């Protein structure tokens, strides 16, 4: 199929089945078609892929897409091939013969899009190959890797400035769903995009409900959340360590859930298999480290659960954004504790990044902890971090639905700060609580802390209440964790007015279990006939299995719902459904129309029978 003579809007409708662009997709596409560069920040599910796919199809030559995860390329390419786009990928999963065949197709001008990993792109052989062909554009997907991952284990992202140096006349587009001002500046500098047009779409995902609570019993908290709210749904559970990932996945299997682990320590074959099952099967839960999820295009993920604190708000936003890409209700649910902060800071200290990079990451971690501890609307705080203003509380986060209770923590905070100061800022939270509560541990007597004026002055609060005080003081910057002293708490300059009695502090009242109204099961409109809905899903599943692709590649849930509501009477009506392009109309239309026609005829029979 040739697209060069087609307009972007005609391609959008005939190939991808949409009637109009979402702003600013049309502006981005026009910029690239005219040969300009672009930096694009658009939320997950906002349609970033179309911003480079359509220009690559309309411009002369092949679009080269730099994608960070090999496992995702097959699904992206398969989805494009199903709608008639000539797409391929080059990565280590291909045999030498298959790779050579794709290279020949590229040289012969037979491809619209070619996906490559940054590691392959920067190889001398690949660069020489690209010099011999006509390139429509370069798309750097998940461009935040230039900043967040490039410093650690994706160093090839730091070399992508060579695209501008070697191919100065080829337009480039860098895309990401998350980047604060610091990350944006680094992307621009490292990719030499100083002259690029900037396109920043709104970050808000109003269909996602944000919920954050404290850890007390990780497994039981997760089990309650899943059984009460998502017993049959697809979702992602994020953990900080590989060991915890496997442990949680195994335990969920014992509880009757279809749960699979995913982390970088598993073999490539196992990771590919687990990811494939998550994409193609329904109701599968992936338990993963951050190695999973980037670029995942599964629209019906109903929840993302974090069992540990993400290291940055960018990471949190990116990971939670994998829920509800179909714009239906979804949950972002997280539990956290102070121990998470200590673990993350230890990991940062072990990073190979520069001291400047480590300081920036510490700042980002503090911002993440601050998001957890706020008592105001979480969505307002989340959007403000990315420079966006929400004028009113969202009404769809836990702090809006169940406002946090607060208490005057001024005196308790002073006692906590004094305990750290009197013990020379050398001890962690457990020992400080023992001191405050008149504990009888060997460590107290070893260091003579039973003689301190702060010994026993905190017996009015229990251990958990004191943990809450210390955690909130760290979150608000009154104290910090000293990793050189194994998690010792030390005072920060900000605490002086509080200690002197010049200011007071309100603290969040921790509640073990805060009920939030359930909302995330797929809500079918009242007019939808459930039998028809299930018949259409069965038809979709049949096609998905036949072509070896995820069901949503055939049609999204939203398109199936539209079929149920509009009940098209012929193929012309069917073609007007959102997400139905010419290729899908020809390939799947007759089968789905047959099911709808059967439903309509049965409804007519039922109606006539009732009248009789």
Beta bridge partners of 211: 333
CA distances from 233 to 39, 320, 435, 438, 522 (A): 35, 15, 47, 48, 9
**For residue range 146-187, what is the model confidence (pLDDT) as tens digits?**
775 444 445 676 788 889 999 999 999 999 887 777 788 888
Q: What is the pLDDT at residue 491?
A: 94
Query: Under 8 Å CB-to-CB from 117, ≥6 apart: which residues?
Result: 66, 67, 68, 69, 70, 73, 91, 156
Measured CA distances, 24 to 11, 39, 53, 202 (Å): 17, 12, 15, 10
Per the DSSP assignment, residues forming a β-bridge with 332 are: 210, 304
Rounded Cα gap, residues 143 and 149, in angstroms: 10
Going by DSSP bridges, is the β-strand pair 303-306/197-200 parallel, antiparallel, or unpaired? unpaired
**Dihedral, CA of residue 423, residue 428, residue 433 and residue 434, to nearest 10:** -70
The one-character DSSP state at 422 is H
Beta bridge partners of 63: 113, 137
Predicted confidence at residue 291, as pLDDT, reads 66
Give me the torsion for CA of 480, 484, 487, 489, rounded to 10°: -40
pTM of this structure = 0.70
- In this structure, what DSSP letter does residue 45 have? T
Residue among 308, 278, 273 nearest 293 (CA)? 278
Q: State the sign of the Cα–Cα–Cα–Cα dihedral 425, 430, 433, 435.
A: negative
Query: Rounded CA gap, 352 and 347, in Å?
Result: 10
Which of 114, 117, 116 lies closest to 149, judged by CA?
117
Report whether 432 contacts 423 (CB < 8 A). Answer: yes
Give me the residue label for tokens 């039998």: 531
Rounded to whole angstroms, the maximal C-alpha distance in the chain is 94
- Asked if 478 contacts 436 with a C-beta cutoff of 8 angstroms, the reply is no
| Distance in angstroms (rounded) separating the CA atoms of residues 318 and 43 | 8
Which regions of the chain are under pLDDT 70? 1-2, 4-5, 71, 148-155, 157, 291, 294-295, 483-486, 511-523, 603-612
Q: How far apart are CA 81 and CA 105, in angstroms?
A: 15
The DSSP 8-state label assigned to residue 109 in this structure reads: T
* Domains of the chain, first to last: 8-200 (3.40.50.300), 208-401 (3.40.50.300), 406-505 (1.10.10.10), 530-611 (1.10.150.80)
pLDDT of residue 605: 46
Separation of alpha carbons 281 and 297, rounded Å:
14
Contacts of 230 (CB under 8 A, 6+ apart): 302, 303, 331, 520, 521
* C-alpha distance from residue 592 to each of 203, 532, 545 (Å): 35, 10, 16
Nearest Cα residue to 14 out of 93, 83, 97, 111: 83
Q: Which residues, including other chains, have CB under 8 Å from residue 65's CB and lie 6 or more apart?
A: 52, 113, 114, 115, 116, 139, 141
Q: In what side-by-side order are the strands of the sheet with 135-140?
A: 87-90, 113-116, 62-66, 135-140, 172-176, 38-41, 197-200
Strand 259-262 to 208-214 pairing: unpaired
pLDDT, tens digit, for every residue of 289-337?
Answer: 986 776 677 889 999 999 999 988 888 998 999 999 888 999 999 999 8
**Distance between CA 140 and CA 142 in Å, rounded?**
7
pLDDT for position 295: 61
């Amino acid at each position: 199929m040739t697209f060069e003579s087609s307009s972007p809007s005609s391609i959008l409708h005939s190939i991808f089945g949409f009637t109009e662009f979402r702003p600013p997709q049309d502006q981005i596409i026009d910029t690239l078609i005219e040969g300009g560069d672009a930096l694009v920040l658009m939320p997950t599910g906002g349609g970033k892929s179309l911003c480079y796919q359509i220009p690559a199809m309309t411009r002369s030559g092949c679009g080269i897409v730099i994608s960070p995860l090999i496992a995702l390329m097959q699904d992206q390419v398969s989805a494009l091939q199903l709608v008639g786009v000539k797409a391929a990928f080059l990565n280590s999963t291909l045999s030498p013969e298959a790779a050579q065949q794709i290279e020949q197709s590229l040289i012969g001008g037979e491809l619209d899009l070619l996906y490559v990993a940054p590691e392959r792109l920067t190889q001398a052989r690949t660069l020489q190959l690209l010099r011999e062909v006509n390139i429509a554009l370069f798309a750097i997907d998940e461009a935040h890797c230039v900043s967040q991952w490039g410093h650690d284990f994706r160093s090839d992202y730091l070399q992508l400035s060579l695209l501008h140096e070697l191919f100065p006349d080829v337009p480039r587009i860098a895309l990401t769903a998350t980047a604060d001002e610091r990350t944006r500046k680094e992307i621009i500098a490292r990719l030499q995009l100083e002259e690029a047009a900037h396109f920043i779409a709104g970050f808000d995902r109003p269909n996602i409900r944000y919920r954050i609570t404290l850890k007390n019993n990780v497994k039981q908290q997760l089990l309650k959340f899943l059984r009460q709210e998502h017993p049959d749904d697809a979702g992602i559970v994020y953990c900080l360590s590989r060991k915890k990932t496997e442990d949680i996945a195994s335990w969920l299997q014992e509880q009757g859930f279809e749960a699979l682990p995913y982390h970088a320590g598993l073999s490539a074959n196992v990771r590919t298999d687990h990811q494939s099952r998550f994409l193609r099967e329904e109701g599968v839960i992936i338990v993963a480290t951050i190695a999973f999820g980037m670029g995942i295009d599964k629209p019906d993920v109903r929840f993302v659960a974090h069992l540990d604190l993400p290291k940055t708000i960018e990471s949190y936003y990116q990971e939670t954004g994998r829920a509800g890409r179909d714009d239906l209700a979804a949950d972002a649910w997280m539990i956290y504790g102070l121990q998470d902060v200590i673990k993350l800071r230890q990991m940062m200290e072990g990073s190979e990044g520069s001291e400047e990079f480590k300081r920036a990451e510490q700042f980002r971690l503090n911002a993440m902890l601050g998001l957890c501890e706020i008592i105001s609307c979480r969505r307002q705080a989340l959007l403000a971090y990315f420079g966006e203003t929400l004028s009113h509380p969202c009404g769809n986060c836990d702090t809006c639905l169940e406002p946090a209770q607060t208490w005057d923590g001024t005196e308790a905070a002073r006692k906590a700060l004094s305990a750290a100061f009197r013990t020379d800022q050398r001890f962690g939270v457990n020992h400080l609580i023992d001191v405050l509560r008149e504990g009888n541990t060997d460590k107290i007597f070893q260091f003579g802390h039973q003689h301190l004026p702060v010994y026993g002055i905190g017996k009015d609060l229990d251990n958990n209440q004191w943990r809450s005080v210390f955690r909130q003081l760290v979150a608000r910057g009154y104290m910090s964790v000293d990793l050189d002293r194994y998690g010792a708490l030390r005072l920060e300059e900000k605490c002086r007015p509080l200690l002197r009695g010049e200011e007071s502090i309100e603290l969040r009242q921790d509640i073990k279990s805060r009920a939030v109204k359930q909302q995330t099961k797929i809500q079918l409109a009242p007019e939808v006939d459930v039998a028809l809905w299930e018949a259409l899903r069965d038809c979709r599943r049949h096609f998905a299995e036949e072509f070896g692709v995820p069901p949503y590649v055939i049609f999204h849930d939203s398109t199936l719902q539209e079929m149920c509501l509009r009940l098209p009477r012929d193929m012309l009506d069917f073609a007007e459904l959102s997400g139905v392009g010419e290729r899908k109309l020809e390939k799947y239309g007759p089968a789905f129309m047959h099911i709808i026609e059967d439903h309509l005829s049965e409804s007519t029979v039922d109606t006539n029978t009732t009248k009789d």
